[in-house]
Amino acid sequence: MTAKLLRKLPDVLFWTWNGLFLAFAVLGVGLDLFFGEAPITAPRAFLTLAVCAVPLVAMRLARTLTAPAERLTLLYGVEAPVLTLLLLRILALEAFSPAAWFLFGVAVVCAAVLIRDLVAAPGRWPLDLAAHAILLAAGVYGVVLALLYVVPAGWLLGGQLLSFDWADGLLRAITRSNGAAVPALLLGAMLLAYTATLWLAAPFVFCGLAARAFRRAWRRSAASPAGATVVVAGSVGALLFGFVLMAAQPTREVFATLAQPPETAEALQARVNSADALRSALLDVWNAEQRYVGVQGRRGAVGHLHREAFGLSAEAVERVLSTHDALASPFLYEGQRPSKDRARARALFAEFFDAPIAEPTVNAWSGPAKAVRRVVHVEPHDGWAEVELQIAYENPGFGDREATEAFTLPENAAHRYAFASPWSSWVVFVNQEQWRQLAKAEAGDDRFTRVEPPTPSTLDNAPFSVSGTPEPATWCLLLLAGGIAAGRRRLTERT
């Protein structure tokens, strides 16, 4: 009986977790995107479709695989790493850093290698061995990073369980609830154990699957052991080089470079030539709060766990934190305070490029509307000129966006009229005369009983006619009310 249940366990885990993935994507993220307060952005919508597509493809592929171990490979080797990064991007980050994109690419490559092992014959041994070497290196990376959390947390949890300090509180809770707390406790324990089957076990199962696949690939290349060693060393070295290169953050370097003005003409020219690199570095600092989930060097959960579990000294805790920060650098900001560095990057950007940082720089799909075209017509007259400014805005997403245009005018400039098209009814123009009239009206005693507007319309002197434009929500309400009224009338006529 026990052996039969163990054989069924991989199928149970595979189908239940994939069902939860789909339910989360459709009911959780999908409803939030289309009916919640969060704007519908193209990256989030695309990632939501990806969260749905990965389980669907895995379930379709699982129908052709009969061995339970093959379905475990799909769950832990393909879905778990890819979906973890996708969900991290949806729930915690506005955008990936270059190093995070590198990790995501490695996860996709590893998933492709495992899927190929399941459905196709092995390829040529150098390329096949190189791919499996990358797979094994990724598995070791995940295990080492997970052990930094699992070992101290497991030590603390085991000590608490063996001390039985929790038994008194548990018995008191059961007694006070007359046994009603027992089902809730059992359900909580089952959910905790079920959650651990994926998120806690995934790094270790993935590493085991990678080690088994690498061993098979190594055996296939047994005819040339020296060449196989070179291929493995080169693949792992290239992977490490790419990780270090992509994880490097330019925060300290760009601040040090722009801290002092160039002393010679050659230094000034070199700084001008590196303008693109400086722009990219300052924007990376500016977007740090959206790209990273934490800050390097802070004694967070890792330092606290190791200090409480093993009583490590301050120097030992620093070494553990250094190891953790190096491994988790794709998701940790290399700086002191992101908000302070953000303000400093903004000031340096404006000083060097003579222009402020255009927001947003990370996710343009969820940002405000931006001006894509400006046309200025100047008609000079005797001692004065008539200036007409036309601005076209582009909506980068699907929802409502705010458009703001600010510029200075001479004190003696006369404002003739302002115009908003019927398709841009959110835009409101207010001139200086209206500001003065509004300030005067707000100070009046009749401000709470006034019926007529206190200021003239900006379109009174416009050389064109403009009609009011209801908002989309207003149109929907009008159509819905009209449909209900028509349906009710038709139903009444029939009865």
Strands (E), 147-198: none
| 133: confidence class by pLDDT, cuts 50, 70, 90 | very high
What distance in Å separates the CA atoms of residue 164 and residue 129, rounded to the nearest whole number? 50
Report how far apart, in Å, the C-alpha atoms of 419 and of each of 415, 454, 471 are: 12, 20, 18
With a cut of 70, say whether residue 413 has pLDDT above it.
no
With a cut of 90, say whether residue 140 has pLDDT above it.
yes
| 352: confidence class by pLDDT, cuts 50, 70, 90 | confident
pLDDT of residue 431: 54
Strand-pair partners of 380: 385
Angle (CA) 135 138 143, round 5°: 125
Check if the beta carbon of residue 139 is closer than 8 Å to that of residue 202.
no
Q: Which residues contact 292 (CB under 8 A, 6 or more apart)?
A: 93, 97, 331, 332, 333, 338
pLDDT of residue 134: 93
Tell me which residue of 127, 134, 121 sits closest to 228, measured CA to CA. Answer: 127
Share of the chain above pLDDT 70, in %: 71
pLDDT of residue 37: 43
| 493: confidence class by pLDDT, cuts 50, 70, 90 | low
pLDDT of residue 427: 42
With a cut of 50, say whether residue 38 has pLDDT above it.
no
- Give tens-digit pLDDT for 215-260: 999 988 877 888 889 999 999 999 999 999 998 888 888 888 888 8
With a cut of 90, say whether residue 456 has pLDDT above it.
no
pLDDT of residue 25: 66
Tell me which residue of 318, 310, 383, 292 sits closest to 95, measured CA to CA. Answer: 292
For 161: left if phi > 0, alpha if psi spans -120 to 50, otherwise beta; the answer is alpha
Mean pLDDT score of the chain, rounded to an integer? 76
With a cut of 70, say whether residue 491 has pLDDT above it.
no
What distance in Å separates the CA atoms of residue 421 and residue 393, rounded to the nearest whole number? 12
pLDDT of residue 23: 75
| 109: confidence class by pLDDT, cuts 50, 70, 90 | very high
Of 91-105, 196-210, 428-442, which gets the smallest average pLDDT? 428-442
pLDDT of residue 474: 62
What is the three-class DSSP state of 389?
strand
What is the three-class DSSP state of 475?
helix
Tell me which of 31 and 162 has the higher pLDDT: 162
Q: What pTM does this model have? A: 0.65
What distance in Å separates the CA atoms of residue 62 and residue 55, rounded to the nearest whole number? 10
With a cut of 50, say whether residue 421 has pLDDT above it.
no
Tell me which of 309 and 435 has the higher pLDDT: 309
Check if the beta carbon of residue 455 is closer than 8 Å to that of residue 437.
yes
